[in-house]
Amino acid sequence: MASGKPSLLFISQNLPKRFASSGVTRLYFFVKMLCRDFDVVVATYFMPIFDKPEDVAALEALGARVEAVHFNYPHEGSDRFSPKLPDRVRVLLGEERFDIIHLERFWMHICLEGMWDTLGIPVVLDEMDVEYKREERRFSVQGADAAARETWERERRQELETCRRADAVIAVTEADRETLLTELPELDITVIPTGQDVAWLNAPLDNVLEDRPYGVVFCGDYRHNPNVDAALYLAQDVWPLVKGRIPEATLTLLGGSPPPELQALAGDGIEVPGWVDDLRPCYRREKVALAPIRFGSGIKAKIIEAAACGLPVVTTSIGAEGLTLEHGTDYFVEDTPEALAARTCTLLTDAGLRSAMSANGRNSVRTYDWEALYPVFRDIYLPLVAKNLQERRRS
């Protein structure tokens, strides 16, 4: 790369991909935005169980150079703590000069261990989730033994220490920002929500599926525990209340890697189809998106995604956290099985309300389009590069 732009090393556990879970898609759009102002080198794992050569080609088409470390997960160990990627990062930092580093999630601090104090390169940490906050909330729902709490405390300290070391931190919601500032008030934290490609989600489709008059959908990556919990809670606690009032109602638990306990729910009006490359036809045949998230942190991009596709959304306070949508106008926010079921049934049977909420939600989520968020990227990364360059010149 000899464009004259500053160089950025993007360190990520997951290969950024356009079509994947919301977190991995977020990485893709980060790379896309950053390639406008930087020569980007992506240092990441290539895990054949998840990744394809065309995913690498898509990043290269954006202008990024991909340094992918082949990793046979899960047979070679944990994707968080394998030494393969840290070893590759050390080689890159020894051979090339970078102007800034993007570190994706706190546990990738292992790629910079032993070098933080001598790097001389600003580091931006993306706290896609405040992990310790999410786990603390999980404990309140699912419980935890002493060993789990000890692990939580150890990782909480490490997460905060990684935030402290970074030159700038990105949070996904204002609530996450306030959580971190309570612990580390000196942090430089900017909020960049997890956006969506709203124009693409709204685009006309050639592939149209048969309409479902009383269709409800939940979507999630089921490698992520909050999504499994929400799907089970929906099926076991909320759905019987919906079916009791609307026997014709159908439920689709959409998303990749459904575990056996979710697959076992298939039947009697419940579908568990697994991964679908293009979610839009699935969304557009349904009538309501129901997302009863009980714990987590950060923005739940599934809410934005469904609303952008024109689906009215019913969710919880946790699911709505960080969003600037309005309850009762753009979506419904409820926290009991009875209220979640009642709002869902109202939307399934009231076409006028459904139409109004669809239009309102679709309009409101336009602020979460990645193009609308682009200026924030410039305001974080470029000033850090300029400041570091000035300090180099003075020294």
pTM of the model: 0.88
Q: In sequence order, what are the residues at sequence separation of 6 or more whose Cβ sits closer than 8 angstroms to the Cβ of residue 377?
A: 30, 33, 34, 37, 192
Strands 288-291 and 215-219: parallel
Which neighbouring-strand residues pair with 30? none
Helix (H) or strand (E) holding 378: helix 370-394
Query: How far apart are the C-alpha atoms of 166 and 106, rounded to whole Å?
Result: 10
Tell me the pLDDT tens digit for each residue of 108-147: 999 999 999 899 999 999 998 899 999 999 999 999 999 9
% of the chain beyond a pLDDT of 90: 81
The H-assigned helical ranges of 118-211 are 131-142, 146-165, 174-183, 198-202
Helix (H) or strand (E) holding 282: helix 280-285
Q: Is 213 left (phi over 0), alpha (psi -120 to 50) or beta?
A: alpha
Tell me the pLDDT tens digit for each residue of 54-82: 999 999 999 999 999 998 887 777 766 78
Give the mean pLDDT of the chain. Answer: 93
Tell me the pLDDT tens digit for each residue of 297-341: 888 989 999 999 999 999 999 999 989 999 999 999 999 999 999
Q: Is residue 1 predicted with pLDDT exceeding 60?
A: no
Q: In sequence order, what are the residues at sequence separation of 6 or more whose Cβ sits closer than 8 angstroms to the Cβ of residue 371?
A: none
Q: What is the pLDDT of residue 390?
A: 83
